[in-house]
Amino acid sequence: MADNKNPRPAVEETIIIGSGPAGWTAGLYTARGNLNPLLITGNDYGGQVSLTYEVENYPGFPEALSGPELVEKMKEQAEKFGLTVEYDHVSEIVTDQHPFVVRTANGKEYKSKSLILSTGARPRFLEVPGEKELTGKGVSYCATCDGFFFRGKELVVVGGGDSALEEALFLTKFATKVRIIHRRDTVRACKILTTRAFANEKIEFVWNTVVTSINGNGSVSSVSTENTITGRAGEIKTDGVFVYIGHLPNNDLYHGKLHLDEDGHLITDKKMRTNVAGIFAAGEIQDKIYKQIATSVGQGCAAAMQTEKFLAEMESEGYHSAGMDAREFQESCTFTPQKAERELVLA
């Protein structure tokens, strides 16, 4: 943490926003690159991986480990090389001036020559009646956090991806029955999870079905459903509903400032560059395809390496930021990608 013994410079070399695998990796690499990086965690410390009970597909950990354990190991490793961590939430970034400005919920303001954005994604909501009202009263998006409260109960999991099946399997440790409600008749989860879920006696699949409302007075008692083929309405009694129907990128900071795709992900090129020179992005905020811890780590590494290169080239160009506005800065960056290449990537 930044304190009086370790005062921050007036202008940071780089600020990393977000504390998931991409952020910690960017922190590790920029720290080892001697950039004295600052990482601002955000409210959801550790990102989505910290909500994961067991990580068994991240290389190097054959025995598997919990999401929070992996986050702590990543943090410890980055801090060992000099990463400074601030437990704060970024409320605003200013991208049309250089150095960039980062303002936080705790009222701090930082200036930085470069930014690495790794704000990740958050769970998608079902958006059916009762969901909001019963969140925390039986509706949950985190089996790791809330599964324990459902010992001996019956549960519903909504979704057919890796998250739904993985978390349903976890929930069988507590629940007597877990019904996975999926809108189609095949899952998109990987083979190993699918095989395990099919083999688990506590799991039952409810195919071709969507949840139309979550019912209960103060706590969940049932879900109303509709068959996607016949249209027939139904009701399934349950004590809890765990929703795993994908994620939405955490992009609130970027609207009108950085280019986003139609789903709200930051657009980056292969060098993790956004459309503003000096601002890089990594992890699920820009990745709509892979969304794995391993790929986020790789993207965080690439963003850090590009940041180092950017700062080194900025230095060698003799650039100094005083008084230069964003346009002058962009134009002064002879080392920034060729316009044509960038336009191609952003098209």
301 catalytic residue (yes or no): no
In the complex, minimum distance from the CB of residue 298 to ligand NAP, in angstroms, rounded to a whole number:
14
Burial track 171-203 (b if 16+ CB lie within 10 A, e otherwise): bbebbebbbbbbbeeebebeeebbebbeeeebb
Is residue 285 part of the contact set for ligand NAP (CB under 6 A)?
A: no
Token representation of residue 13: 């070399």
Q: How far are the Cα atoms of 13, 72, 84, 306, 337 from residue 278, in angstroms, in the given order?
A: 10, 28, 20, 9, 11
Nearer to ligand NAP, 238 or 306 (CB): 238
Q: Cis peptide leading into 59, omega within 30 of 0? A: no
The interface mask with ligand NAP, positions 184-203, x = CB under 6 A, is x---x---------------
Is residue 164 part of the contact set for ligand NAP (CB under 6 A)?
A: yes
Is residue 244 part of the contact set for ligand NAP (CB under 6 A)?
A: yes
Which of 41, 112, 119 minimizes the C-alpha distance to 279? Answer: 112
Taken in order 338, 339, 340, 343, the sign of the CA dihedral is positive
In the complex, minimum distance from the CB of residue 279 to ligand NAP, in angstroms, rounded to a whole number:
25
Is residue 249 part of the contact set for ligand NAP (CB under 6 A)?
A: no
- Number of neighbouring beta carbons within 10 Å of residue 239: 20
Is residue 247 part of the contact set for ligand NAP (CB under 6 A)?
A: yes
- Of 113, 202, 291, 342, the residue at the interface with ligand NAP (CB under 6 A) is 291
Is residue 159 part of the contact set for ligand NAP (CB under 6 A)?
A: yes
Stretch that binds ligand NAP, among 108-116, 222-230, 241-249, 254-262 (CB under 6 A): 241-249
DSSP-derived letter for residue 178 is E
Token representation of residue 163: 């998250």
Catalytic residues: 142, 145-146
Binding site for ligand NAP (CB under 6 A): 57, 158-164, 166, 183-184, 188, 210, 244-247, 291-292
